[in-house]
Amino acid sequence: MRAATESDVEKLKELWVAFDREHPSPEYEDVDEAAELAEVEEYVREHVALLAEDGDAAAGFVLARMRGPRHGWISDLYVTPGFRRAGAAGRLVRDAASALRERGAEVIELDVRPWNDEARAVYERWGFRESKLTLAVKAEDIEERLSRDAPPPSHGLVFAQTDDEARVGKAVRSFLPRLGRSERTDVHPPANGWIAVDDELCSGHPTLLRRLAQELSYRTGGVVLTLGVEEGAVVRYVLFDKGSIADEYCSLPEYDGPLPPGDVVALNANPTVAQRLTGADPERVRATARTATSVADLPPADDLYRETADVLGVPLP
């Protein structure tokens, strides 16, 4: 590992091109390759540019800079395929972090694509944590979607598989303020081995409902289920076990747009997992948790919601 010099610029540019080919930017980002390569020279002259080598072979590089008096940023990190899983990336980031600290950095950020699960896992192991989230949508899609009539509201519940009402209530009260202000939260007494949590804010926002369920599962170390109807059309359940998703079902997998075939299959209920975690009859799960491409091909969403709750053995308040 060493600081790159001006004599390394061409080598760094070759590595940057390999990086860009392997991890291209989204199609809507118009990347000016010439400008990006010119920026590599700027990093060598003015910022932090480190090169990993094995003899005469270039193994990888990292580019970093200050974005403020106390804010460091790693803009590019790449290790060639032949040198991966040998610690090169970690050493590059360690040395880049040291160089940024010498320049006054107290916090260091980097960007990672949400679908790059392998890289995200590595960064989290190094101590990086999500600090902000950037969302993107095609302009024509958001214009068309927001031009529609407002859909019916969503509603849903969280069910914790436990009789410890006090523990669930404490976990709910401590976590809910992170999600936003809620006017009403009901933690129902145990019934059939489940405690239902009905929170006004989370009920209408499926993403928040899932976050609450995952946190409860993590804190209780057990099985937690979300079950709800989204926009009056889609029935969805998610089973968490010890904080991780164990199974997910969505009655209209492509309601929000086309998905890769594998993602569609993943949104079919797994009767075996449902039986293991809830005691549900696999045949009833298979018969009830149906998927389709159109609302017309399924029972009314609220009917399917109640039928699914019955199959999974969770009590609707």
Please write the tens of the pLDDT for every residue from 40-94: 889 999 999 999 988 888 889 999 999 989 999 999 999 998 888 888 899 999 9
Let me know whether 217 and 106 are in one domain. Answer: no
Closest CA to 233 of 289, 285, 298: 298
Closest CA to 239 of 209, 220, 214, 203: 214
Q: 162: domain range? A: 152-312
Closest CA to 219 of 235, 193, 190, 240: 240
Let me know whether 77 and 164 are in one domain. Answer: no
Residues in a beta bridge with 199: 185
Closest CA to 76 of 64, 67, 94, 59: 64
Residue 134 in domain: no
Let me know whether 110 and 213 are in one domain. Answer: no
Question: Token pair for residue 23?
Answer: 């991890």
Does the pTM surpass 0.75? The reply is no
Three-state DSSP state, 114: coil
CA 61 – CA 50 distance, rounded (Å): 6
Three-state DSSP state, 242: coil
Residue 140 in domain: no
Q: Tens of pLDDT along 184-222?
A: 999 999 999 999 999 999 999 999 999 999 999 999 999
